[in-house]
Amino acid sequence: MEILVVIGVTVLLVVITLNSFSNLNRREALKKEALQVASIFDQARSLTLSSKNASKYGVHLEADKVTIFQGDTYSSGDPGNITTSLNPLVTITNIELSGGGSDLVFDRLTGATSQYGTTTISLSSDLAQTKSVIIYPTGVSEIK
């Protein structure tokens, strides 16, 4: 009988520990992907400010990936696009950019954008756990 109690308590402790690690993994994935999306915004802005290929750059947002593109408009078949897939544990659940749409383009010389707003990244398993990446009119991004 005592052995069964010990085994039961051990199993309970293992389940609690595994659940804690799983929750930690999901929270870290959310944090990491929010940082990555902000970094991609910064990279596109930097490419624009450096006038690489004498062009401006933008970012196209989808639920499971983020793409840097060259020029004023996004073309899914362009071989110059740089696409980054998000961790399957997270998804982009809300894109609120001024003027609507899911693309933002940075202006040459200033790095500003007229498509400023908020991108919300959520855990796929719990949409209540979110991080927001805010793009200001100056083109600078911030995570909240």
Q: Provide the β-strand partners of residue 97.
A: 117
Identity of the amino acid at 104? L
Per the CB < 8 A criterion, the answer to whether 87 and 124 are in contact is no
The answer to whether the beta carbons of residues 122 and 37 sit under 8 Å apart is no
Q: What is the count of structural domains for the chain?
A: 1
The domain that contains 18 carries what CATH number? Answer: 3.55.40.10
Show pLDDT as tens, one digit a residue, over the chain (144 residues). Answer: 889 999 999 999 999 888 777 777 888 999 999 999 999 999 999 999 998 989 999 999 999 999 999 999 999 999 999 999 999 999 999 999 998 999 999 999 899 999 999 999 999 888 889 999 999 999 999 999
Distance CA 70, CA 128 (A): 34
Single pTM value for the model? 0.84
Question: What residue numbers bound the domain in which 48 lies?
Answer: 2-143
